[in-house]
Amino acid sequence: MPTQANSLSGKVALVAGATRGAGRGTAVALGEAGATVYCTGRTTRQRRSEYDRPETIEQTAELVEAAGGKAIAVAVDHLQPAQVQALVARIEAEQGRLDVLVNDIWGGEKLIEWNTPVWEHDLAGGLRMLRLAVDTHLITSHFALALLHRRPGGLVVEMTDGTAQYNADNYRLSVFYDLAKASAIRLAFAQSRELAPHGCSAVALTPGWLRSEMMLDNFGVTEATWRDAAAKSPHFAAISESPRFVGRAVAALAGDPQVQRRSGGSFSSGGLAREYGFTDVDGSQPDCWRYMVEVQDAGRPADATGYR
């Protein structure tokens, strides 16, 4: 097992934005470690969000249970303060504690206009993207941290795209997207300062090239056949990772009694795998962000030798 079974037994986690992608992978990985996981999102078996995709929070909860955890699926729009407040009140009433908050809410893929300057990018779409990426996280932290900070050892994970170092050196192909992903990193840093007196921590975490449900669909492959995407994207086929990999990074952080030494920092799934020893579902340890700099961005042909 990538993490010790029941290493998070008795711990309560909220994965905000657990419908699909990194959020689903994280919820399942926390379940692997024995945690009780509240899985939130807008798409249920009764109602779809504007994404209009089939994944639901109930499916995520079933995967968490199958992995060994306890799951509670709760439909929440994290832009609605009253809904988030009610969610946290429910967690407090049912569990009396919150140990891990994963702010994974996003929902902006369909709003991005890549390589489009700010004066040409749809303004409403760009501002909506920022609301989804920043306002949701702030609203959730506002209510959830009031519960989490009561016990030393609490952890907040701000899920983003790119490490602080990579994003500082690279324009992320859209002003709005660039700001959205940089904001999560700074939010982790700011929260780490506010949580420190309470013995709690906050970090920013990025997956690598994620084999999310949407990405697999884009390449016309499945989780079982993802290597067949090499003809369309050789780098994706070389270095991509399952959503469970970044989830296992969260589980490793949550189970680290010395996690406070990392508080305020920016980390990647691949980097933490080298330190904690967990693996992806295929037993590998893809180090995407080092690969991006040294192979893809350097113009070298796709070759994951030494990177997974």
What residues act catalytically? 177
Handedness of CA 299, 303, 307, 308 (dihedral sign): positive
Q: Which string of DSSP letters, residue by residue, matches 48-102?
A: --TT--S--HHHHHHHHHHHT-EEEEEE--TT-HHHHHHHHHHHHHHHS---EEE
How far apart are alpha carbons 34 and 37 in whole angstroms?
9
First CA to last CA distance, the chain: 18
How far apart are alpha carbons 246 and 206 in whole angstroms?
7
How far apart are alpha carbons 29 and 246 in whole angstroms?
9
Q: Which tokens in the block code for residue 30?
A: 């926390």
Q: Which tokens in the block code for residue 193?
A: 């300062």
Nearest residue to 117 via CA among 169, 181, 170, 175: 175
Please check whether residue 207 is in contact with residue 243, taking contact to mean a CB–CB distance below 8 angstroms. Answer: yes
SS (H, E, C) 155-216: EEEEECCCCHHHHHHCCCCCHHHHHHHHHHHHHHHHHHHHHHHHCCEEEEEECCCECCHHHH
What are the distances in angstroms from CA 253 to CA 3, 41, 98? Answer: 11, 23, 15
